[in-house]
């Protein structure tokens, strides 16, 4: 029963990854259909992320009041509503309406399931969990590429919604697998958990929030702009090939988390993060290399994703250890909110910059956030050690 529940939790994270790479993969074609500048993808991404921030900040209250399984069921339903809404959008402005359920659903799933796994499973399970997020994020650019080849971009969203519906049905059928009642000690921990205001004053919390902001700023920029980077710096490629480049970063993330799942219990979260960021910096260096073809840059983005792979799950998994279980729900909620602040504004900022300077500045942009990420995490460790 326990292993079946874990399989369902992994499937939930596939569903979380599915919607995330569709906008980046479909945008080069969507931009042409809507007749808007390339930077306008940032506004849609910003709206989705803003709604995710709201649900992440509310997640400690949701976790106190509802069991994780009910949060998941409702949240997957919201993402289906958002995906179907995107699929029927005939005008650019309509995307903003359906970005609301799109973002709300993602934030609630992310915060609640991360909290559940961080407090009940090992770091290895956490890495495998986020590896399955990468599976979902790799699948959807392929769905969009197929839609662009055989139908329209709208079908990419519609077909992804159908996949989400199947996952929702499995989640509903799996409800008996979840513990009907948590242990008394677990219930007490949830009921007595700290709120947002109290948690943010705890030593090291603000520093880790800045680090998480930096990580997700770089990650989200890759999610949204990788296909456009190749479209803007390389020539002679088809729409389908350009759309498929959206899976590069997600494939790297999946690989990095798969490897980390096997070694995380041995190395620990902190060492995994340090190794990951070194690998990420090497990937950025590959993208810097000028080349007429796309192969070296494509390998570079896969390497960037591989390096990024262990960072997100390791930071989440460290929350109970670094700050205590009393603060863990609120810390994870705050981390999610901080992450999505980065996801909301930094891809949009990059969109404006690349419109003025050129999309070739992307590796410099990523380098800045990689350095911020490791710098503020190391400061966090020092502050926690003194407490």
For the chain, give every domain's residue range.
2-178+185-386
Tokens linked to 152: 């329209």
pLDDT in tens, 316-373: 888 777 777 677 777 877 887 888 788 778 888 888 888 888 888 999 999 999 999 9
Per-residue pLDDT for 376 more than 90? yes
Per-residue pLDDT for 21 more than 80? no
What is the value of pTM for the model shown?
0.74
Per-residue pLDDT for 306 more than 90? yes
Domain 2-178+185-386: CATH class, spelled out: mainly alpha
Q: 75-89, 221-235, 314-328: which range is least confident on average? A: 314-328
Q: What is the pLDDT of residue 275?
A: 94
Query: Which residues lie below 8 Å from residue 198, measured CB to CB, with a gap of 6+?
Result: 327, 330
Q: What is the pLDDT of residue 304?
A: 94
Per-residue pLDDT for 210 more than 90? yes
pLDDT tier for residue 285 given thresholds of 50, 70 and 90: very high
Least Cα distance to 351 among 29, 30, 45 occurs for 45
Query: In angstroms, rounded to a whole number, what is the distance separating the alpha carbons of residues 227 and 190?
Result: 42
Q: What is the pLDDT of residue 184?
A: 41
pLDDT in tens, 90-138: 888 888 999 999 888 877 777 778 777 777 777 778 778 777 877 787 7
């Amino acid at each position: 029963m326990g292993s079946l529940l874990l399989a369902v939790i992994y499937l939930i994270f596939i569903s979380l990854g599915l919607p995330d790479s569709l906008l980046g993969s479909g945008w080069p074609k969507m931009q042409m259909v809507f007749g808007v500048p390339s930077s306008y993808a940032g506004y849609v991404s910003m709206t989705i992320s803003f709604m995710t921030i709201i649900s992440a900040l509310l997640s400690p209250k949701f976790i106190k009041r509802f069991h994780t399984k009910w949060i998941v069921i409702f949240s997957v339903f919201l993402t289906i509503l958002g995906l179907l809404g995107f699929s029927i959008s005939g005008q650019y402005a309509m995307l903003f309406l359906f970005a609301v359920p799109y973002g709300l659903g993602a934030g609630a799933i992310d915060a609640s399931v991360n909290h559940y796994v961080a407090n009940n499973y090992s770091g290895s399970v956490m890495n495998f969990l986020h590896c399955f997020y990468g599976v979902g994020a790799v699948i959807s650019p392929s769905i969009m590429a197929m839609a662009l080849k055989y139908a329209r971009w709208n079908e990419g969203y519609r077909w992804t919604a159908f996949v989400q519906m199947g996952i929702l049905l499995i989640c509903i059928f799996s409800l008996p697998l979840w513990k009907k009642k948590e242990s008394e000690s677990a219930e007490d921990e949830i009921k007595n958990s700290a709120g947002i205001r109290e948690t943010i004053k705890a030593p090291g919390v603000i520093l880790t929030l800045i680090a998480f902001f930096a990580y997700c700023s770089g990650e989200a920029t890759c999610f949204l702009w990788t296909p456009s980077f190749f479209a803007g710096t390389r020539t002679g490629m088809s729409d389908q090939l350009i759309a498929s480049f959206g899976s590069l970063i997600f494939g790297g993330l999946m690989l990095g988390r798969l490897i980390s799942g096997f070694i995380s219990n041995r190395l620990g979260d902190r060492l995994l993060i340090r190794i990951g960021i070194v690998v990420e910096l090497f990937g950025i260096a590959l993208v810097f290399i000028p080349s007429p073809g796309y192969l070296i840059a494509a390998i570079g983005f896969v390497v960037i994703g591989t390096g990024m792979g262990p960072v997100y799950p390791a930071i989440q998994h460290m929350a109970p250890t670094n700050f205590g279980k009393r603060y863990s729900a609120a810390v994870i909620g705050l981390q999610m909110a901080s992450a999505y602040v980065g996801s909301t504004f930094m891809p949009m900022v990059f969109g404006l910059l690349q419109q003025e300077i050129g999309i070739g500045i992307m590796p410099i942009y990523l380098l800045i956030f990689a350095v911020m990420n490791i710098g503020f995490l190391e400061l966090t460790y020092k502050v926690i050690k003194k407490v």
